[in-house]
Amino acid sequence: MDPLSDVLSLLKPRSQFYAGFDAAGAWSFDFPPHEGIKFTAVMRGACWGRTDDLEHPVRFDEGDCFLLNSRRRFVLSSDPALPPEDAGHILDAAGRDGIAVHNGGGEVFLISGRFDFSGNHAAVLFDALPPIINIPKASSQAEILRWSLDQLTSELHHPQPGSALLSTHLVHLMLVQVLRLFLASSSELPKGWFLALTDKRIGAAIGAMHAEPARAWTLESLARIAGVSRTVFAQRFKALVGTTAMDYLARWRMLIAADRLRDGKDGVAAIAFSLGYESESAFSAAFKRTMGRSPTQYRRQQLGVQGH
């Protein structure tokens, strides 16, 4: 698989919430930070959104879709000049009825899906994305997102055999479409592995590490794949990704290990050797350095979470 597919394959939706918002008149609501990501499609009307990270509010028109990154306070309004009020009652109504109606509705209608992901893997993706990604109406990705959100809402209200699996695949489908568009069109990507994928030389090296994580990679061997000198490669990698190539490799190995530990099928020693470590103790030390706990502690905690 390619690096983007590798990362997305580790993301396993843990909780999902779908709701609609039907509003009219003048309104502005302040939504608290959320875990995971939120997809929203503007099915009717227009509105404005802003986060603390943005200098200016963003306008969303009918047919547009947008992705809101994790842990962002978000103000949604009919007019960005309006002072926001707490959105608690809107969230309560959406959770209770599926659709929250304000001022009788009829002018602006949004449909949203919020997805939380298990484990520490999601941070690899979220840290590489901006607060909001806007997908204009005219793009094919917006059309796919609107269809996917409609499907997810239908699965929520009318569950059928296979609903859980279908929902998981739809989440991945939406993520891929948004990230493809963003990767191809954005000129202001945050520093990180996602930005590095736009560079053919560094992207090739990242792809090689993902393809063979157990290989004893060196700066020299990665630089050869990138087709540049060792010094140029090291400087370019750090400038784009924000870490050294060896630190990135170690982090990627630990994310793979965490996924396999959570799965519960392989022993710690087997995972260690499969990722190129010569001993279980060396692997355990590296895992604890990166993940903050030993492999055994991590597995016990994750299995405990899954059991509840």
Tell me: the pLDDT tens digits for 174-206? 878 887 777 776 666 778 888 888 889 999 999
Question: Which pLDDT score, from 0 to 100, does residue 213 have?
Answer: 95
pLDDT at 228 over 80: yes
pLDDT at 307 over 60: no
Domain that holds residue 293: 194-306
Which pLDDT band holds residue 283 (cuts at 50, 70, 90)?
Answer: very high
Task: Residue 5: count other Cβ atoms within 10 Å of its Cβ.
Answer: 11
Q: Tell which of 148, 167, 185 closes a domain.
A: 185
Do 218 and 170 have their domain in common? no
Do 166 and 260 have their domain in common? no
Count CA atoms closer than 13 A to 29's CA, side-chain side. 18
Helix (H), strand (E), coil (C) string for 190-236: CCCHHHHCCCHHHHHHHHHHHHCCCCCCCHHHHHHHHCCCHHHHHHH
Between 64-73, 148-157, 182-191, 232-241, the lowest mean confidence (pLDDT) is in 182-191
Do 49 and 13 have their domain in common? yes
Do 174 and 122 have their domain in common? yes
Do 204 and 113 have their domain in common? no
| Percentage above 90 pLDDT, the chain | 50
pLDDT at 116 over 90: no
Question: Which pLDDT score, from 0 to 100, does residue 156 have?
Answer: 63
Mean local confidence (pLDDT), 30-34: 93
Question: Which pLDDT score, from 0 to 100, does residue 110 have?
Answer: 93
Mean local confidence (pLDDT), 283-298: 93
User: Please, what is the average pLDDT of the chain?
Assistant: 88
Do 115 and 153 have their domain in common? yes
Do 113 and 140 have their domain in common? yes
Do 159 and 201 have their domain in common? no
Domain count, the chain: 2
Q: Tell which of 129, 150, 185 closes a domain.
A: 185
Do 25 and 136 have their domain in common? yes
pLDDT at 308 over 60: no
Do 201 and 173 have their domain in common? no
pLDDT at 87 over 70: yes
Do 176 and 215 have their domain in common? no
* CATH number where 7 lies: 2.60.120.280
Question: Which pLDDT score, from 0 to 100, does residue 154 have?
Answer: 78
Q: Tell which of 164, 185, 206 closes a domain.
A: 185
Q: Go through 66-104 and write b for each residue having 16 or more CB atoms within 10 A of its CB, e for each that does not.
A: bbbbbebebbbbbebeeebeebeebbebbeeeebbbbee
* CATH number where 224 lies: 1.10.10.60
pTM for the predicted model, two decimal places: 0.74
Do 71 and 137 have their domain in common? yes
Question: Which pLDDT score, from 0 to 100, does residue 121 have?
Answer: 65
Mean local confidence (pLDDT), 157-174: 78
Between 105-109, 116-120, 195-199, the lowest mean confidence (pLDDT) is in 116-120
Question: Which pLDDT score, from 0 to 100, does residue 7 have?
Answer: 82
From residue 133, alpha-carbon distances to 61, 85, 287 in Å are: 14, 24, 33
